[in-house]
Chain A
Amino acid sequence: MPPKRMTANQDRSHRYYPGKVEYAEDALSSDSENSDAEASSAHQPAKPTLPKATSFPKDARLAANLSKIDLDARRAQAAAQEAERLKREADARAKEEEEFVTDDDNDEEDGSGREQESGSEEEEEEQEESTSSEDDVPKRRMPAPKFISKTNRKQCSVPVFSEEELAAQEDARRKERADEMLQLQLEKQAAAKAAGKKDWDDDEEGLADEVDDADDVDPEEERALWKIRELLRIKRDRDAIESAEKEREEIERRRNLSKEERDAEDREYIDTQKEEHEGKGKMGHMQKYFHRGAYTFDADDETKQLLNRDIMGSRFQDDARDKSMLPSALQIRDMTKIGKKGRTRYRDMKSEDTGRWGDLGVRDRRKDGEYKLDERFRSDGDAERAGGTGANAYAVGERRKRVDDSRDGRRDDKRPNLHYVYYDPA
């Protein structure tokens, strides 16, 4: 048989590998002792440990009754029940097997006898387990069925618990009681918590103590503070009234002025505004535009001062005022974009313009080549040659003087004078 261990060196000391299952060696192998120890130690980590106490509602009555259980009586009861059951089963089996007789009859009887004993033992142990708490994992080794010959059978029919089994049962009971106590303690803590604090409020209430809302700690001071607040409120109201009044007055006054005066005042106001704007730094050429921001809502005095500060005129330390001295790659409005991929190369409209200023560039390309064409195929011209085409192309000039027309030329009156028509009404 090949050695169990794959290493060449059979004497190699064993190491614990978590999760690796070690099998018990034969008694024949030299490592039997070690392997046994290992087997048991390896066995233990595999067993899951259950929590000490559970939130599963425990029936308090169960705990109380536990101490009152008389185990011996229980055991006797259980033994009696089991004997009865087995007897019934044996009878049933006997009835079945009446027909055939095998040479295993003897063995069967022995087997059943053995079963009975071990069965009763098992039954009691099972009962033990069921009465003990559900949490306990029964680490109970069933006593291996041992063959007892007929003679020995009669001697000890009462199941005897070995000492270690008894000790184990005691341990189990003690452990269980300890768990009970722990559970009770936890419940008490929870109750105390519930009494002091609300369930829904799982925040730390301790933080709330920093703000103390106890009244009458110092009545005079509180009264003084209240007075200040009240006066501020009154002041606020009065200021509101005053400003409303002032506005109304202003409107009245303006209405009473004549139109010219109003215009004069407006111009003054605009001029002062312009001055203010000019006083602030101009944008300059290729300066980054800093907007002052939209936070102008509900500005108080401090904020208004901030709002009126001169943003565009301010320069920071590395700001190049004259960008024409810089190489063209650095002549950017926003210097933060230098070296970055996404910046636009746009400078300003004038430099991007590809045309000539004022040159509208209106030229009809088609007309340029028409001189080569025959006159008939040329285009008609703009707006049909403003004025007239064809016969109207030329202005009508003065009539040529005809000889007939003059007085001297009209010697013979044979021809009718058609300059005027003689109309005879008759």
Chain B
Amino acid sequence: MAHAADAKKALDSRGYTGSLIRGDNPLKLFEKPVRDRIIESYYWKEQCFGLNAATLLDRAIELTFIGGTYGVSQRPTPFLCLVFKMLQLTPDKEVILFYLQQEEFKYLRALAAFYIRLAWEKDAEVYETLEPYLADSRKLRRRTREGWTLTHVDEFVDDLLIKGRICATTLPKLNPRVMLEDEDKLEPRISALGEELEELDADDDGSDGEVVEVANGQANGIGQAEEDGENDAEMVAD
């Protein structure tokens, strides 16, 4: 896509001729107040001017937390500004997948996941692409309106797939997985636990299949470590 350093045209949706997402200007995925906050923020003005898909990587690598807006004045996080920039650039699918598959930078992964959830229109694709990352248990720092919390990559991806509103944006409607399974567009989800889950089910034949509390260093956890590693690798490679 032709990259214009001065992106005024994208922000003004009257004569917009770029690529559309869900039939409208991609920037419209963010609400007007949030859009205004982003554009007026210093991070956007200083760091996000004239970025392209490659230089965006530099910025993404420097991210240290995710979040929407925070504080009384609703300041946007750099994470949000970068997502906004990505919406403006609308990079190709391959680029996004490349971002997503980077093992080394978890915030970049979170960025790509958020973009995928916002921008991709085929629900089945969204589920298929994001579900493998439910196995990534790395910690993420999250900035909420009042303070800081700890979250994980898999929690973040789960929120993206289930919740309606995250990081100061209302996520576009996504059909529930059950519906897609009924329409045979998707297979039922294969959890990363895989074999362990079957074992647990076998154990809990009598009870309702409650959650088994796995304490620190229990045999269940350690003994299966290698196997799980394999499973995880399979899942991710999928």
A: residues with CB less than 8 A from B are 198-201, 207-208, 210-215, 220-235, 237-238, 240-241, 244
Contacts and interface: CB of A to CB of B under 8 A. Distances in A.
Given A231-B193, A231-B212, A234-B197, 4 more contacts: A212-B150, A225-B152, A230-B191, A231-B200
Contacts of B197: 231, 234
Contacts of A213: 64-65, 138-141, 150
A230 B189 CA distance: 12
Contacts of B218: 224
B20 to A, nearest CB: 31
B213 interface: yes
A210 B149 CA distance: 9
B80 to A, nearest CB: 13
B90 to A, nearest CB: 25
Given A199-B46, A208-B65, A230 B134 contact: yes
Chain B, interface residues (CB within 8 Å), range: 35 or more
B64 A208 contact: yes
A244 B178 contact: yes
A221 B137 contact: no
- The 10 closest A-B CB pairs, nearest first, are A200-B42, A226-B137, A211-B148, A213-B139, A213-B141, A200-B43, A224-B214, A231-B211, A215-B138, A211-B141
Contacts of B212: 231
Interface centre among A220, A226, A233 (most CB of B within 10 A): A226
Interface centre among A220, A230, A232, A240 (most CB of B within 10 A): A230
B221 interface: yes
B216 interface: yes
Contacts of A230: 134-135, 154, 191-193
Interface in B38-53: 41-43, 45-47
Contacts, number: 100
Interface in B172-224: 177-178, 189, 191-193, 196-197, 200, 209-218, 221-222
23 contacts: A200-B43, A201-B78, A211-B149, A212-B141, A213-B138, A215-B106, A220-B216, A220-B217, A224-B214, A224-B221, A225-B137, A226-B137, A230-B134, A230-B135, A231-B197, A231-B211, A232-B211, A234-B193, A234-B197, A235-B209, A235-B210, A235-B211, A240-B178
A207 B148 contact: yes
Interface of B: 41-43, 45-47, 64-65, 78, 106, 134-135, 137-143, 147-150, 152, 154-155, 158, 177-178, 189, 191-193, 196-197, 200, 209-218, 221-222, 225, 228
Given A199-B46, A232-B211, A215 B139 contact: yes
Contacts of B147: 207
Contact of B152 (A229, A233, A238): A229
A199 B193 CA distance: 44
Interface centre among A199, A213, A215, A238 (most CB of B within 10 A): A213
Contact of B209 (A207, A224, A238, A241): A238
Contact of A237 (B149, B189, B196, B213): B189
Contact of B215 (A224, A226, A231): A224
A139 B196 CA distance: 87
Contacts of A227: 193, 196, 214, 221
A217 B200 CA distance: 27
